[in-house]
Chains A and B, each alone.
Chain A
Amino acid sequence: MAATGDPIGPSAEGPDVSDKQQEAQGAPSGDAAPVAVANGLPVPSQNAPEAELMTVQQVADRGDLELLTRFLTGIMLLGGDVLMQRIREVRGDLAAYPEFTAQTASLDEASTRDLARYLAIGLTRRGQARLVQGVRRGFDLSLGTASWAFGLVNRATDNWLMRPVRKPVESRLRLLDRESVRVIREGKVEEQKSRLLAQEAVFEIIDDVIEFVAENPEAAAWIQDILAGQTAGLTTSLRDNARQFTVSSDGRAEDLVRRMLRRPARRTLPESPLAGEPQTMYSPESAGQMVEAHEQRESDRE
C-alpha cells in the first residue's frame, strides 16, 4: 500500500479514529473536550466523566469495525469476480464435451435412486428459472404500477387547489433524490476502497504464508500431503471425528445409567448377526431379488 495519498485511509469520508485523536490533540471540533494522548492512544483526563471514556472507546471500536467490514466487503466482491470469471472460462472449455452440450439423455440404465436424483435436480433447475422469471415479472409490475400511480397523482395534484400541499412534498422528494444520489456515490467510493483494501491485504497474507512455508519445510510437506489427498478431506475428517466421539459417548452414557441403576458396568455386547460383515442387503441387486421374490409369491398365489 502506498504510504502517501492513501486512498483507503479514513480521511476520505469524514472523521475516523485518527481524526478524533487529532481533534483530541489540540484541534477540537464542536463541543468535544480535549483529551491527552500517550503512545498514540487517547488518555482521558483525571476528572473525565464516564460518558467521555465510553465515547473514546466507542470511536476506536467503530474504526476497527468499519475497517473489518470494508475488508470483508472487498473479499466478497473480489472473490465473487474471480469465481465467476473462472466458472465462465471452464464453461467455455467444457463446450467441447458432448455430455455438457447434450439436450436429452436415455433413462434406460437408471435405477430408482438415479431417477429420484434426476427428478430433484430437474425440479431445482425449473424452480430456479421460474423464481427468476417471477421476480423479474414482479419487479416490472411494481415499476409499472408505481409509474402509473405517480402519473395519476401528478395529474390529480397539478392545479392551484393542491399547490400548497404539493410544494412541501416536492421539496421532500427533491431532498430524498439528492440524498439517494449521495448514498450511491458513497457506495461507489466504498466499493473501490474495499476492493483495493482486500486486494492488498490478501496479497500481504499470501506473501506471509509463502514466507512461512519457505522457512518451514514441514509446513510445505503438510500442504503437499493435503493436496496429494493422502489425508482425509476436512469434511470426512470432521465427520469421522464426530462419529468416533459419539461412539465413545454411547458407552459412557450407558455406564452412567448403569451406575445410576446400581447395575454392574457392561464390558461386552452380545454379538450382532452382521458383526464385521459388509451390509449388502440394501444394494440394488438385493432390491431386485426382493421384487422377484414378491412377484413369485404373487404368481404362486394366483
Chain B
Amino acid sequence: MSNEKVTENSPPTLLGEYAGFVTRLIAWIIDNIIIAAVVAIIVAAVTFILQAFPKAVWLGLDDAVFAIAVVVGATISITVPLVYYIVLWMLAGQTIGKWLMGVRIIRTNGERLRFRDCVLRLIGYLVSAILLLGYLWILVDNRRQGFHDKIAHTFVVYSWPESVPVKPLQGSVRRIRVAAADRSEP
C-alpha cells in the first residue's frame, strides 16, 4: 500500500476502477443461471435421445443407457462452464453476466487475457471456493482481488462510465402529477 498511488478524491468516472464484491457476485449469479440453463437443456436433449433409442430397450440395455446419460451429463456439466468462461474471457474479457453488470477482466499489466491466464483463473476459482475465502477476500483486498485474481494476475475493473444519464421513469410521472395538481389549483 505504501508504494501505491492513491486518489484523494472520488473519481469522475468509474471506467477502469476496480470492481467490488456485490457487482461481481451478481455477475457470477447471472453467469451461473445461464450455464445451468444451457447444461439442463443439453442434458435433457441427450437423455431424451438416448431413451428414445429403441435398440437399447430391445436388447435390455436400459442400465447402459442410464450410465451413458450420467457420463454425458457429467461431461457436459464440466465442459459447458469451461468453454463458456474461457471463450468469453478470451474474446471479450467479460462473460454475459459481467457484461450486464459492466465489468471486465484485465491482466495486471493492462493487457487482454491469454489462454494461460484463463486456465489459471479457472483453477483459481476452485481455490477460492474453499470456504469461499478466496471470494470474500475481494471485500478486504486493496485492489479488490480474489484469490483467483491473484493466482492469474488479473484485475476486474468497471467497463462503463458512471456518467451515463439515468432518468427514472417514476420521477417523470411524479413531475407530471405535481404539475397537473398545481394547474388544477385556483
**Bound CA–CA A250/B23 (angstroms):** 7
**Dominant SS at the B interface?**
loop
Indicate if the CB atoms of B104 and A279 lie closer than 8 Å: yes
Q: How far is the CB of B99 from chain A (nearest CB, A)?
A: 10
Q: Chain B, 1-29, contact with A by CB distance < 8 Å: what is the 0/1 string?
A: 10011111011111111111111001000
A246 at the interface (CB under 8 A from B): yes
Q: How far is the CB of B186 from chain A (nearest CB, A)?
A: 17
- Measured CB to CB, the residues of A under 8 A from B are 112-113, 215-216, 218-219, 222, 225, 231-232, 234, 237, 239-244, 246-247, 249-251, 253-254, 257-258, 261, 263, 268-279, 281-282, 286-287, 290
**Bound CA–CA A269/B7 (angstroms):** 7
The 3 closest A-B pairs by CB, nearest first: A250-B20, A274-B16, A270-B4
Indicate if the CB atoms of B168 and A241 lie closer than 8 Å: yes
Indicate if the CB atoms of A270 and B92 lie closer than 8 Å: no
Indicate if the CB atoms of B15 and A277 lie closer than 8 Å: yes
Indicate if the CB atoms of B110 and A274 lie closer than 8 Å: yes
**Bound CA–CA A60/B139 (angstroms):** 54
**Residue of A243, A254, A263 with most chain B CB atoms under a 10 A cut-off:** A243
**Known interface pairs A218-B175, A249-B22, A270-B5. Does A232 touch B11 (Cβ–Cβ under 8 Å)?**
no
Q: How far is the CB of A197 from chain B (nearest CB, A)?
A: 28
**Bound CA–CA A277/B16 (angstroms):** 7
Chain B residues, Cβ within 8 Å of A290:
112, 114
The residue on A at minimum CB distance from B176 is: A218
Interface size range on B against A:
35 or more
Indicate if the CB atoms of A232 and B167 lie closer than 8 Å: yes
**Known interface pairs A237-B166, A247-B14, A247-B20. Does A270 touch B139 (Cβ–Cβ under 8 Å)?**
no
| One of A243, A272, A286 near B157 (C-beta < 8 A) | A272
B130 at the interface (CB under 8 A from A): no
**Bound CA–CA A284/B167 (angstroms):** 33
Chain A residues, Cβ within 8 Å of B11:
275-276
Indicate if the CB atoms of A281 and B165 lie closer than 8 Å: no
Indicate if the CB atoms of A247 and B162 lie closer than 8 Å: yes
**Residue of A231, A273, A277, A286 with most chain B CB atoms under a 10 A cut-off:** A273
- Measured CB to CB, the residues of B under 8 A from A are 1, 4-8, 10-23, 26, 91-93, 100-102, 104, 106, 108-112, 114, 136, 139-140, 142-144, 155, 157-160, 162, 164-169, 172, 175-176, 179-180
Known: A250-B19, A277-B15. 5 other contacts (CB 8 A): A112-B91, A243-B23, A269-B144, A276-B12, A279-B93
**Bound CA–CA A225/B160 (angstroms):** 24
Q: How far is the CB of A229 from chain B (nearest CB, A)?
A: 12
Indicate if the CB atoms of B92 and A268 lie closer than 8 Å: no
Indicate if the CB atoms of B20 and A281 lie closer than 8 Å: no
**Known interface pairs A216-B179, A218-B180, A243-B101. Does A254 touch B112 (Cβ–Cβ under 8 Å)?**
no
9 of the cross-chain contacts (CB-CB < 8 Å) are A240-B160, A243-B102, A250-B23, A253-B20, A253-B139, A271-B4, A273-B106, A276-B11, A277-B15
